[in-house]
Amino acid sequence: RWEQALEWLAARPDIHEVILSGGDPLTLTNRRLEQLLDALAAIPHLRRLRIHSRTPVVIPERLDAGLKALLTRDRWQTVLVLHANHPREISPALVARCRDWRSAGMTLLNQSVLLAGVNDRVDTLADLSDVLFDAGVLPYYLHQLDAVQGAAHFAVPDVIARELHADLRARLPGFLVPRLTREEPGEPAKTVLAG
């Protein structure tokens, strides 16, 4: 069903960015991605390509040379948004690839989900920001959970989440503090709980 989306994008010169996101676009092969990027690159008003993926966090090798060549091939700026939740997820293999991609000119961001018992301590969140920055990645969002079935035990109350965020702001430079947000169905953007 790409055809219809591509036609729509081509007819909308006010659209400057395309996001490949959820599912996980990096579960596609480089060949499939190349077919899509070939079609997108033919649309002159697109300036940014953004990819949201958790795959590199669990399989750093997915950031392979072929993919790097593909994502730096065209005129646009490429932004890769990783989904890491804990500093121990940032392995040496991931750090090496992120640094390499950063020096190839890509912008690297991270979004996390605030998870009770996993990363709901200011030390853990501050470590995560430090470790990400060392790898050339900026923290972007810290999400409150989507209300999905079976995940309630990971929920952190908003009042606690805001406190954690304030502690983080007191501890870190502003550019290492992710925005605390929640995704609300029907809203045009994420709801910011603390910026």
Ligand X SMILES: *Cc1c(COP(=O)(O)O)cnc(C)c1O
State how far the Cα of 195 lies from the Cα of 187, in Å rounded to an integer.
18
Bridge-based pairing of strands 191-194 and 179-182 is antiparallel
CB-based closest residue to ligand X: 21
Report, in Å, the least distance between residue 147 CB and ligand X. 15
Sign (positive or negative) of CA dihedral 68, 65, 110, 188? positive
Closer CB to ligand X, 5 or 19, in the complex: 19
Per-residue tokens: 49: 């390509």
The answer to whether residue 102 forms part of the interface with ligand X (CB under 6 A) is no
Stretch that binds ligand X, among 17-25, 31-39, 114-122, 149-157 (CB under 6 A): 17-25
Name which of residues 130 to 189 contact ligand X (CB under 6 A).
189
Q: Is 131 helix (H, G, I), strand (E, B) or coil?
A: helix
By CB under 6 A, the count of residues binding ligand X is: 6
The answer to whether residue 105 forms part of the interface with ligand X (CB under 6 A) is no
Q: Which of 19, 42, 152, 192 contacts ligand X by CB under 6 A?
A: 19
Q: Which of 2, 7, 12, 21 contacts ligand X by CB under 6 A?
A: 21
Q: Which of 2, 5, 8, 22 contacts ligand X by CB under 6 A?
A: 22
CB-based contacts of 186: which residues, under 8 Å, 6+ apart? none
The answer to whether residue 192 forms part of the interface with ligand X (CB under 6 A) is no
Q: How far is CA 102 from CA 16, 65, 68, 135, 154, in A?
A: 22, 13, 10, 9, 32
Closer CB to ligand X, 19 or 147, in the complex: 19
What's CA 137's distance to the chain center, in Å? Answer: 10
Q: Which of 37, 40, 46, 52 contacts ligand X by CB under 6 A?
A: 52
Binding site for ligand X (CB under 6 A): 19, 21-22, 52, 189-190
